[in-house]
Amino acid sequence: MRLGDFLLAGMIIASPSSALAADDFIKGVYLQTEELCAQAKKEGVEAVAEAGNIVLSERGLESVEYNCEFVQVTKAQRSPAWAVTAICQEPGHLSPDVLSVTQMSPTQIELVSVTPASAEGEVGGNGGSYVLCEGLSMP
């Protein structure tokens, strides 16, 4: 078997597990507090993001002038969690990040990022706790 054939066979074998992980990934819109969810229901998800709040969805993290696109999602075998590779960008800066996304309950997600926090005592980079905002969808 030639190297090209071997690589193609590896991609074909790996593809179903990647699709399964994506199908099983989080659904809906998440914000950091119930109060922000209520505000988003009144004013819209875009308005909450434009105020500097971070919105979590299966696509990634989004805010005004900042986003992290989830480019690879891998499901853990023994826990309700995923390892996620992301490409994050803000004006003039692009960087990678790796996060763990853990389903703490049906309505709560916990993120842990390898990106260091900017100030002492802060949760690292893109980390934090998010709650499901029922009835909202991404624009």
Tens of pLDDT, residues 47-74: 999 999 999 999 999 999 999 999 999 9
Residue 125 CA to residue 115 CA, distance in Å, equals: 5
Q: Cα 114 from chain centroid? A: 13
pLDDT tens-place string over residues 82-105? 999 999 999 999 999 999 999 999
User: Residues 23, 49: contact at Cβ < 8 Å?
Assistant: no
Across all residues in the chain, what is the average pLDDT?
83
Burial (0-12, 13-18, 19+ Cβ within 10 Å), 107: middle
Q: Please, which residues have CB within 8 angstroms of residue 113's CB and are 6 or more apart in sequence?
A: 97, 98, 99, 124, 125, 126, 127
Whose CA is closest to 92, among 66, 68, 110?
66
Of 126 and 81, the structure prediction assigns the larger pLDDT to: 81
pLDDT, one tens digit per residue, over 20-54 is 345 689 999 999 999 999 999 999 999 999 999 99
Average pLDDT over residues 120-133: 76
Mean pLDDT of 116-139: 77
User: Please, what's the b/e burial string for 35-58 (b: 16 or more CB within 10 A of its CB; e: otherwise)?
Assistant: ebbebbeeeebeebbeeebbbbbe
pLDDT for residue 118 = 62
